[in-house]
Chain A
């Protein structure tokens, strides 16, 4: 059953269209991430769902309840939407104790005091904060503050939780830990999550589905595995993980690397790309093998111009004519030395038509 529903949502700031005709629906209990570089419109979208921004066009629903619709001149203010929300900068109130922070949404709703007590301790228990209940949030670490924010959002037991880069103010180690905690809380309480982040591994680890955005336009909505394995376009490919793009020129059915050799026969682009003068051959550094067989039909030939030992992985930069390509291997696998000639086999060559200016 679809739960949160955005229909043709558009937002403009002056002449700039921040969010352009966006559509998606969330199932109950789903974790949905909006992923993209800063300024792509993901935060604006979240703020429209929360009600902090009004739409210029389109509609937002939760279940059957209409939240915003400029066409029907309807707008429900954020305090009436019953969402939980966590912000990047914690936004816990320093003048209230941890307990009072979490109790605030309940007190606003005039919940009976025994019930407040029970629900606050539930929320504090779920976020491991029982010990800190009487402390001031200022006495807690960043991770502690963010737990208070989570507990406060949990207190009303919302069925939609909005998370706006909640982990990006934390250090990497804590970030990973909190990621798992959020996932565990979701399992325990069953809310659905709309999660905004620019960190692809965070989105991958948490989400059931990911929306990749760029310039206010949805690029792809899919499961994490599909976003990684079958990126809808070159932007999505480049945004998720490390990537190489080799420019390929096509002329009369023959293809060659721009400023380099002709493409080996085994690496010809699929037929549907025929007729394009400029193509982009995408690959991931970890999905390239050094191929020892001298007669390999699909191998690209080049020279190792840089070999860096990075501990777990060894990083190679290989020159192919005028272009270079990154290759990464785990430390146990053998590879050529710096300056050596080598042959490369792309395990998963992916083709895109070269867009201008990219």
Chain B
């Protein structure tokens, strides 16, 4: 059983605290993603699990084994933790062929030569590198090098894989392709994967569960991709997970009005005493039309971006961004130009107290 359990894990460097009292459980066979802005300590957390660093306090268990415990000073070195690790920088050894790179963990484990050859070739095929086993890493593309790293991590049949931003050095197309491949490999081999990234799109695409960390190293929400995206617990979460619109709304008596103007809010009202509110929603929640029911606004800036039209809309001094697929815009006469009036309605929205937005910086 490849589970990971962190209890009260902290990591400090001198005066600087990176992680503080973190608790986390990763279940067997799931793809668990640590998602957070750069510098939030997610990589440090992964390195603690791998054993490249020791926690300042707290304990870490992998399966039933206690691998690090600050209180007793127990620490299992990384070579005895039985993990596969893939790094952002590929970290394939430039002086060894693809075959030797992938075969190295087996060689260390003393696997007899015949079995080693067959297992290495099998793994190389698994990551779609057949025919390249004699090449040196310098003769491979970035994507191929990352496949070598993946194969090397997989060849020892670890039950736990740690991936540290493995795709961020690849170009967009390759990144998209590889993230699906990693997901498929994980299912096929039934292993537990811990994935670290700052890219919310990869996190959504690849994960069974996601833990979102904020800039201070605290976990803000753990849940399935749908939960994280559709049911954010607070405005930080909402803002972090994608393009976010915040429409200012003010309460006057029992009425709610948009921006500085006099248009009343046509949707369900927020619950609470605050005077200043924001309606938070995604570009895909916006319905933009030429006429009909909704809020009256003006298209301040229309940008054609190829597959879609991007609009910046002003409603009584407050702004929102939305986009319309080009074919739909043409079909339904929604090709606005700068300065044209429009009608805006929303499908879904979250209400946040405007004060809670301060920390988001929006």
Contact = CB atoms under 8 A, between A and B. Distances in A.
A284 B229 contact: no
B303 interface: yes
A31 to B, nearest CB: 13
Interface stretch (B2-10, B159-167, B197-205): B197-205
B307 A242 contact: yes
Interface residues of B, number: 28
Contacts of A200: 306
Interface stretch (A46-54, A135-143, A222-230): A222-230
Interface string B296-335: 0000010111111010000000000000011100100000
A205 interface: yes
A332 B226 CA distance: 12
B307 A309 contact: no
15 contacts: A201-B306, A205-B303, A225-B326, A228-B304, A229-B326, A284-B307, A286-B308, A287-B327, A308-B204, A309-B204, A309-B205, A309-B229, A311-B229, A311-B282, A348-B327
Contact of A306 (B180, B304, B308): B180
A241 B304 contact: no
Contacts of A240: 306-307
Given A228-B326, A315-B205, 20 more contacts: A200-B306, A204-B306, A205-B305, A224-B304, A224-B306, A240-B306, A241-B306, A241-B307, A242-B307, A286-B308, A309-B204, A309-B205, A310-B204, A311-B200, A311-B225, A312-B242, A312-B243, A312-B282, A332-B284, A347-B327
Contacts of B330: 229
A205 to B, nearest CB: 5
A331 B282 CA distance: 10
Contacts, number: 70
A180 B326 CA distance: 20
B218 interface: no
B241 interface: yes
Interface of A: 180, 200-201, 204-205, 224-225, 228-229, 240-242, 284, 286-287, 306, 308-313, 315, 330-332, 347-348
Contacts of B16: none
A39 to B, nearest CB: 15
Contact of A286 (B225, B284, B304, B307): B307
Contacts of B303: 204-205
A331 B205 CA distance: 13
B347 interface: yes
A312 B306 contact: no
Contacts of B37: none
Interface string B170-211: 000000000010000000000000000000110011000000
A309 B201 CA distance: 9
The DSSP consensus for interface residues of chain A is: mixed
Contacts of A312: 242-243, 282-284
Contacts of A225: 304, 326
Contacts of B308: 286
A305 to B, nearest CB: 10
A309 B306 contact: no
B284 A310 contact: no
B180 A308 contact: yes
B232 to A, nearest CB: 11
Contact of B242 (A241, A287, A311): A311
B304 A311 contact: no
B106 to A, nearest CB: 32
B78 to A, nearest CB: 32
B327 A180 contact: no
Nearest to A228: B306
A239 to B, nearest CB: 10
Contacts of B301: 180
Given A224-B304, A240-B306, A306-B180, A311 B204 contact: yes
Nearest to B228: A311
Interface in B41-69: none
Contact of A332 (B243, B304, B305, B347): B347
Contacts of A228: 304, 306-307, 326
Contacts of B229: 309, 311
A310 B306 contact: no
Contacts of B243: 312
A49 B278 CA distance: 50
B226 A309 contact: yes
Interface in B205-224: 205
Contacts of B225: 309, 311
A308 B202 CA distance: 10
Nearest to A287: B327
Contacts of A242: 307
A310 B201 contact: yes
B252 to A, nearest CB: 32
Nearest to A239: B306
Interface in B317-362: 325-327, 330, 347
